[in-house]
Amino acid sequence: MDEGFKKQLLDNGADIETTVNRFMGNEGLYLKFLMKFQDDRHYESLEKNLEEQKYEDAFNDAHTLKGVAANLGLDTISNASSKLTELLRGKKTPDEIDLEQVESVKQHLGELCHIFRKILAENKS
For 63-94, how does the pLDDT look when each residue is reduced to its tens digit (9 = 90+)?
A: 999 999 999 999 999 999 999 999 999 998 99
Output the pLDDT for position 123: 95
Residues 6+ apart with CB under 8 A from 110: 43, 47
pLDDT tops 80 at residue 125: no
Rounded to 10°, the helix 42-51/55-72 angle is: 160
Using DSSP's 3-state secondary structure scheme, residue 14 falls into strand
Mean of per-residue pLDDT scores for the chain: 96
Residues 6+ apart with CB under 8 A from 30: 16, 19, 20, 23
Output the pLDDT for position 1: 87
pLDDT tops 90 at residue 41: yes
CA distance 11 to 22: 20
